[in-house]
Amino acid sequence: MLYLVLVAVALRGLIVRNVTNSEPLGYYLLLPAIQLRYGDLVALCEPQPAHAFAAAHHFSAVRHDFPIDGCPESRVLIKAVWGLPGDSMRVTDAGVSRNGMLLHHSVLLPNLPDGTPLPTPPPAIVPPGEAWGGSQAAKSFDSRYFGPARTLARARWIPAWIVDVTILAVLALGGALLRTPVEGTPPQST
């Protein structure tokens, strides 16, 4: 039983749940962020000033109950990689440009529904260990509004049914182990 608890705790630190429409809803397995490419999904740590703005205007992050690599749970975002370390990124009224090329589906929202203007970052070179994250969802709060962010992990989407079946299997196995008599102990009569 202790083994099952240890496995559950270990997996808990590797799986997050995305509850926003900027990327597909559901669970994501977090893997090392090695050799990222444009379009890969990543977990990013939203910078503190951007987080304060996002919290004040009810933007959501992923759902989990623990920090990931020192990033508080409320600041973890799942986004597609639009810019990698060394890329020159610029935000204009036309959208986001990477190394001088305008990215498709990168136009900015001029204001929030209440009329509040959205911030835009200055031109930036993406530093090592960070990425420029974006989404094709028009209402996504991403690097278009705060610039590059620290890369925490590569994120792989997991269908919800796989997570549900895994949880049920662990619970069933745990229940079976609790009912199995230990060698050398007499079975209990009912």
Outline where 42-185 has alpha helix (H): 48-56, 143-146, 160-179
157-167 residue pLDDT tens: 887 777 778 77
21-66 residue pLDDT tens: 788 778 888 999 999 999 999 999 999 999 889 888 887 666 555 6
CATH of domain 2-159: 2.10.109.10
Please name the residue that has the structure tokens 């935000």.
91
Tokens of residue 66, six digits = 């623990």
Distance CA 153, CA 23 (A): 15
- Which helix (DSSP H) or strand (DSSP E) does residue 95 occupy? strand 95-98
Quick one: pLDDT at residue 169? Answer: 83
Q: Is the pTM of this model over 0.85?
A: no
In the three-class reduction of DSSP (H, G, I as helix; E, B as strand; rest coil), residue 150 is classed as strand
Quick one: pLDDT at residue 12? Answer: 53
- On whether the CB atoms of residues 91 and 120 are closer than 8 A, the answer is yes
- On whether the CB atoms of residues 27 and 127 are closer than 8 A, the answer is no
